[in-house]
Structure 1
Amino acid sequence: MNPYPEQGPLEEENDDLPVGEVLSRRRALSLFGLAGGTLLGGSVLAASKRPPGGPPAWTQAGQNSAPKTVKSLPGCVVRPAEIEGPYFVEEKLMRRDMRPDSKTGKARPGVPLTLNFEVSRVTLASCEPRAGVMIDLWQCDAAGVYSDSVDTGFSTKGQDFLRATQLTDAAGKASFTTIYPGWYHGRAVHIHLKVRTMQNGKASGEFTSQLYFPEAVTDAVHKQARYSTKGQRDTRNAADQFYKNGGSQMVLALKGDETRGFTATFDIGLNIG
């Protein structure tokens, strides 16, 4: 059921090919200068495609605290890069609360979600906070609709709900207030993430990926009135073509419930730029 009949039928996102490569354990250790060392918890590493002249962005799953030994990778290391998709717009909306349209002030309804990011530079022994890193988030609303986009039969051109940009503070932190996303045909529930290091007002490095959600939590949230009018989603994580490219490492660890809302913290170790 289309909750926006005046906009016409909804259409699936026409994503591109996956970005980045999953590295073997030996290859990852070699590139990170840890030949002969060990990884914590059998973690999977990946490197995004590097910008011209720049080093790769490193990824690791399942680590939330710094290691005790130099031969282990720190817990702040980022996860796999994924496709940007067609709905990114350079809005540069510097704000924490990304729910409203900036022109009308009307917020998109949905289960509240607070996303906290901690961005660091990774060394062999620690995670050093990175200030002034630009983080962009964009997502669909409870009905699966993106702002500032034109699809067959409907348009939200000129609107900017559920989009926001922030710069990390001196502690490398940034926090966003949004809603739990809805779904659209052919994709698992997700939020898009772009992280850029800045130099003289221009991007000097970039990491782009997508954040995913635990299936049981999504099932509970999508029973809520605003979400349920769309019907049952047709693509779960395991069936999503982009989730298969390391998406299990991008699943948010959520605290809260579908009544009060959720909070999640996501660490990003960025050695680009």
Structure 2
Amino acid sequence: MNEPQDPRPASLYLPEDDNDDEMIGTLLGRRQALRLLGLGGSAAALAAGGVLAQRGGPPTGGTSAGSSGPTGLPGCVVRPAMTEGPYFVEGEPRRSDIRKDSRTGRVSAGVPLKLDFVTSRVAVGGCTPRAGVLIDVWHCDALGTYSGVAGNAGDFLRGSQVTNAQGRASFTTIYPGWYQGRAVHIHFKLRPLNAAGQATGEFTSQLFFPESINAAVFARSPYRQKGKADTPNAQDGIYRNGGSQLLLSVKGDPVGGYTATFDVGLNIG
């Protein structure tokens, strides 16, 4: 299979040229986020909906599905929406383990990665788990290849799940590789579903990884046969448009594998 080549020049990933790469909701600073959660403000700004990311423990008297974040920011801060890119495929298989190609049975080789999503509904004073959110995840394999696009068959490293009553969905995958012109990343899409199973909103973005972890992973097989990644986070046009807010905190090592959790407050749909 061939390495994917994005049909658009890298410059077209910049927000002024790509209509997909736009904010959903309102970008909040730390003080604004605290006010929204009842520490000096009202709930008016939440009424219109938005996409906000959990970055800390619960405020006094509130609840939160968040797992980590800056001290003193118990509420939610907006994470930027980012371009869907050319490799999304609608109707990805509903499954937790996305390593296997369902057509051939082949399992993608690479360092194991367990990626947990925690979705919440944001309200003044805290956040509560949000069930019934369809989460799509897709990314390239260790050598930079996506399934199902650019002449490549299969559905490896693609999958979707609906969040449970605790607002959680977990994916078992491998650490993604890299391809020309892009930092290491995972794509995801969130769509709240109504009782009939129809999407009532949509949020699309990307997750990124610390450079130190990338270096440790890419020194191992099969990643090392592709060589050194050509685009670090700081040089990626998409990452520069808010990627630091989507940088995963990764635990583990390249021998036993990694785990990461992404917490997001979803007030659309």
Q: Give the alignment's TM-score, normalised by structure 2.
A: 0.82
Matched, 1:66 2:66: no
Matched, 1:23 2:18: no
Counterpart of 1:196 (choices 191, 194, 210) is 191
Distance (Å, rounded) in 2 between the aligned partners of 1:177 and 1:110? 12
Between stretches 91-100 and 14-23, larger displacement belongs to 14-23
* Runs of 5+ unmatched residues, structure 1: 1-6, 38-46, 48-52
Q: Classify 1:34/1:242 alpha carbon distance in 2 versus 1 (closer, same or farther; 3 Å).
A: farther
| Per-residue deviation, residues 146-178 of structure 1 (Å, max 9, x unmatched) | 00001xxxx213x10000100011111110000
Superposition CA RMSD, Å: 2.7
Matched, 1:220 2:204: no
Equivalent residue, structure 2, for 1:261 = 257
Count matched residues.
245
Matched, 1:185 2:180: yes
Equivalent residue, structure 2, for 1:3 = none
Q: Classify 1:141/1:166 alpha carbon distance in 2 versus 1 (closer, same or farther; 3 Å).
A: same
Indicate conservation of the 8 Å contact 1:13/1:85, yes or no.
no
Equivalent residue, structure 2, for 1:103 = 103
Q: CA deviation at 1:32?
A: 4.3
Spell out the pairing of 1:1-273 with structure 2 (5 A cutoff): 7-8=1-2, 10-12=4-6, 14=8, 16=13, 17=18, 18-20=21-23, 23=27, 25=29, 28=32, 32=36, 55-59=49-53, 63-68=55-60, 74-75=74-75, 79-150=79-150, 155-157=151-153, 159-199=154-194, 200-273=196-269
Distance (Å, rounded) in 2 between the aligned partners of 1:9 and 1:23? 35
Report the identity percentage.
51
Indicate conservation of the 8 Å contact 2:110/2:221, yes or no.
no
Indicate conservation of the 8 Å contact 1:98/1:163, yes or no.
yes
Distance (Å, rounded) in 1 between the aligned partners of 2:28 and 2:202? 23
Distance (Å, rounded) in 2 between the aligned partners of 1:19 and 1:252? 21
Distance (Å, rounded) in 1 between the aligned partners of 2:76 and 2:199? 21
Q: Classify 1:243/1:253 alpha carbon distance in 2 versus 1 (closer, same or farther; 3 Å).
A: same
Q: Classify 1:13/1:249 alpha carbon distance in 2 versus 1 (closer, same or farther; 3 Å).
A: farther
Distance (Å, rounded) in 2 between the aligned partners of 1:174 and 1:23? 25
Q: CA deviation at 1:132?
A: 1.2
Q: Classify 1:201/1:24 alpha carbon distance in 2 versus 1 (closer, same or farther; 3 Å).
A: closer
Distance (Å, rounded) in 1 between the aligned partners of 2:255 and 2:73? 37
Q: Classify 1:29/1:178 alpha carbon distance in 2 versus 1 (closer, same or farther; 3 Å).
A: closer
Opposite residue 252 of structure 2, the aligned amino acid is: G
Indicate conservation of the 8 Å contact 1:74/1:127, yes or no.
no
Between stretches 84-93 and 11-20, larger displacement belongs to 11-20
Distance (Å, rounded) in 2 between the aligned partners of 1:30 and 1:212? 26
| Per-residue deviation, residues 116-157 of structure 1 (Å, max 9, x unmatched) | 11111011112111111100000000000000001xxxx213
Distance (Å, rounded) in 2 between the aligned partners of 1:270 and 1:170? 15
Tell me the SS of whatever aligns to 1:255.
strand
Equivalent residue, structure 2, for 1:42 = none
Tell me the SS of whatever aligns to 1:177.
strand
Distance (Å, rounded) in 1 between the aligned partners of 2:38 and 2:128? 19
Q: Classify 1:186/1:36 alpha carbon distance in 2 versus 1 (closer, same or farther; 3 Å).
A: same
Indicate conservation of the 8 Å contact 1:133/1:167, yes or no.
yes
Distance (Å, rounded) in 2 between the aligned partners of 1:148 and 1:105? 15
Q: Give the alignment's TM-score, normalised by structure 1.
A: 0.81
Tell me the SS of whatever aligns to 1:141.
coil
Tell me the SS of whatever aligns to 1:218.
helix
